[in-house]
Chain A
Amino acid sequence: AQRVTQPEKLLSVFKGAPVELKCNYSYSGSPELFWYVQYSRQRLQLLLRHISRESIKGFTADLNKGETSFHLKKPFAQEEDSAMYYCALLYNQGGKLIFGQGTELSVKP
């Protein structure tokens, strides 16, 4: 079955520290993966997608098909990165996004 797992509910780091938010997926086809972010009192928005291989706000994510992972990384966390992060898998090219449970990132000064 298709599934996205984010093992950490809360990740707390100090400003300037590296950040890695973990995401593992289960999918029999060729996966298309995304990271969505929700800042306080804002709507859910796309952060990045694996096919574009972009770096957004200093975040990167590499798809590792062998480990079925799509971890989100940033070398130096900023306080404004504090938010809820969701990893999502696009299922069957039909618009169905399967979300993980989310990881709350808290960056302390």
Chain B
Amino acid sequence: ETGVTQSPTHLIKTRGQQVTLRCSSQSGHNTVSWYQQALGQGPQFIFQYYREEENGRGNFPPRFSGLQFPNYSSELNVNALELDDSALYLCASSPWTGASYEQYFGPGTRLTVT
């Protein structure tokens, strides 16, 4: 069973640029969630995708967008990068089993915006 993978591991971008982060979900999982974890903070929910549709969104502006593909892999796109976007971005996949399920996290992508 392959776990959740994310790419790239690290990324440095300049303010105003755009970035795309990628996530491959665990085998058999059709739901992907994205989280932003600032230094010293817990992860904050950005959004979730289920069967290629956005299934919920946290308090993030529209410049944070995502996609899920038929193979359930996912992308997080951030436009017009700001310094405060510097964080660890975590992807988590899960099987949709109804009311309660476990989310399996990837290792994260460390984004630095200068």
Q: Which residues of A contact B (CB under 8 A)?
A: 4, 6, 9, 32, 43-46, 49, 51, 86, 88, 90, 92-102
Q: Of all chain A residues, which has the CB nearest B94? A: A95
Q: Is B103 an interface residue (CB 8 A)?
A: yes
Interface of A is mostly: loop
- Tell me whether A43 and B105 are in contact (CB under 8 A): yes
Residues of B in contact (CB 8 Å), total 29
- Tell me whether B55 and A94 are in contact (CB under 8 A): yes
Q: How many A-B residue pairs have CB under 8 A?
A: 63
Q: Of all chain B residues, which has the CB nearest A88? A: B42
A36 to chain B, nearest CB (A): 8
Given contacts A46-B103, A95-B31, A97-B103, contact A86 B56 (CB under 8 A): no
Given contacts A43-B105, A43-B108, A96-B48, contact A90 B100 (CB under 8 A): yes
- Tell me whether B99 and A93 are in contact (CB under 8 A): yes
